[in-house]
Amino acid sequence: MNKKAVALFALTAALSVSAQLSINPVPQSTDPNSWWQKRFAAKQELVKAGGSEVVFIGDSITDFWESRGKAQWEKYFAGEPFKALNLGYSADRTEHVLWRIDHGELDGYKAKCIVLMIGTNNSGHHPISVETPIDTIEGISQILGRIRQKQPEARTLLCAIFPRGEGPNDPCRMRNEQVNAGIKQLCDGERVIWCDFNQRFLTADGILPKEIMPDRLHPNGQGYEIWAESIIPQIKKCLAAGPFEPRTLRAEGRVRDFLGRMAQKRSQICKNASKEFDVVFVGDSITHNWEGPGKKVFQERFKDYNILNLGYGGDRTQHVIWRLQNGELEGYKAKLFMLMIGTNNGDNPEHIAAGIRKILDIIAQKHPEAKTLLLPIFPRGKDGRDNGRIRNEKVNAIIKGYADNDRVLWCDFNQKYLKDNGELPRELMPDLLHPNHDGYIIWADAVTPFFKEACGK
């Protein structure tokens, strides 16, 4: 996944999910006599007292600054110049942090630096069929949004979720690393600053030693010393920094747009009562635009089909691979996938084709019951001399061989967009890249027979 964002679901029969758990604010306990509510009440008193410019937010790993890391907390953070506030709660997940923030933990005072690490309990508590890395990423994204709303002058040090489990193949460790790869893209280096010092906890071969984390999850004093040493220079920079620059807000907007679409699509999956789609569209802006210039055609031609559109503007093969590996293929069954991707890549045809092959393999692995309708990359540019057109045609010549007329079906209607001399008319693609309404009619006419065959309607 690149700078654009971040740019991570068969649900169990025992659990009916109508929305993403990770973004649904709930308390860990509603019992006023529970330890969790008592801690919340005690922290609220500290919040009301004010005076904390540095705030730590998280789960038990943050909570335990008050026990296993107490000596380091007293040494580095409790007194001047930080007078830090610890808002860590054992076993908390993103949804619990959201509830706490919604109920006042960031109200009534001005922080300059917020140290955030959350998510390991999302990975450890729910199976990936219920909560994917994308869900956890979106939960963390929403926490950052709450921080931006409640503490608009604060900078956030977003810490990579700490390694857990003995080795690099531990399932929770692997899920956390997938989340880390995504949330890193939420950082702009000014308002949200990425802090990844996980390698300091590990041996050269990726083993998490008990000498640093005895239960291979929570640091001991030595581990908290590493954490303190790693973030203190950044905290000092945050405290000394001035107002934000306008470019920061623009960058945040692009990230929010991408994550907003991820959340929208995840919600569509979770709310689908049948947990089945007839057809799933996968691609870039050309596919995304079935919701734009192609919307009327979509509504008229595909009204009988339950369709999930996983097209994202600007995506390249690597972005699709990341999305499909991190949650967008989980939680439902599909009869047919329709795939077109690659026009945004800009690298050599063999690399683009290899990316498309990887996407086909991921779909086959995650959805062995489904077929994939593979489309050639659409023509682009004025005529056959356009470099992008030439590259795309070379890719198409390779990927055509991926179709076996069984699991992968080939549907090439590119010539319908072109004049006899190879020119691409603006009457169909005004920018010589994206179809307009009439261009989507051509697309719908070409693929509808495949939809009918796969879906029986």
Report pLDDT for 12: 23
Rounded to the nearest integer, the mean pLDDT of the chain is 91
Q: Which amino acid is at 375?
A: L
CA 347 – CA 344 distance, rounded (Å)? 9
Cut 0.85: pTM above it: no
Mean pLDDT of 111-135: 92
User: Is residue 342 over pLDDT 80?
Assistant: yes
Backbone angles phi, psi at 408, to 5 degrees: -120, 120
Residue pair 308/261 in contact (Cβ under 8 Å)? The answer is no
Helix axes 349-366, 387-399, angle to 10 degrees: 40
In the chain, what are the domains?
21-251 (3.40.50.1110), 272-455 (3.40.50.1110)
Cis peptide before 152 (omega within 30 of 0): no
Q: What is the CA radius of gyration of the chain?
A: 25
Report pLDDT for 316: 94
Active-site positions read 60, 215, 218
Residue pair 61/227 in contact (Cβ under 8 Å)? The answer is no
Residues ≥6 apart with Cβ < 8 Å to 300: none
Report pLDDT for 436: 98
Report pLDDT for 254: 52
Residue pair 306/274 in contact (Cβ under 8 Å)? The answer is yes
| Selection from 263, 177, 258 nearest residue 6 by Cα | 258
DSSP H or E segment with residue 446: helix 437-455
Residues ≥6 apart with Cβ < 8 Å to 36: 27, 28, 29, 89
Name residue 279's beta-bridge partners. Answer: 307, 336
In 216-250, which positions are buried (b, 16+ CB within 10 angstroms) versus exposed (e)?
bbbbbeebbbbbbebbeebbeebeeeeeeeeeeee
Any idea which of 101-105, 219-223, 259-263, 441-445 has the lowest mean pLDDT? 259-263
Q: Mind listing the pLDDT tens digit for each residue in 4-50?
A: 333 332 222 222 333 578 999 999 999 999 999 999 999 999 999 98
| Selection from 335, 341, 343 nearest residue 321 by Cα | 341
DSSP string, 215-279: TSSS--HHHHHHHHHHHHHHHHHHHH--PPPHHHHHHHHHHHHHHHHHHHHHHHHHH-TT-EEEE
Rounded to the nearest 5 percent, the helix, strand and coil shares of the chain are: 45, 10, 40
CA 426 – CA 48 distance, rounded (Å)? 62
Distances (CA, A) of 269 to 150, 265, 340, 360: 30, 6, 21, 20
Q: Mind listing the pLDDT tens digit for each residue in 274-293?
A: 889 999 999 999 999 999 99
Question: Which of the 8 DSSP states describes residue 128?
Answer: T
CA 226 – CA 149 distance, rounded (Å)? 31
Any idea which of 80-94, 183-197, 233-247 has the lowest mean pLDDT? 233-247
**Degrees to nearest 5, angle at CA 433 with 421 and 254:** 170
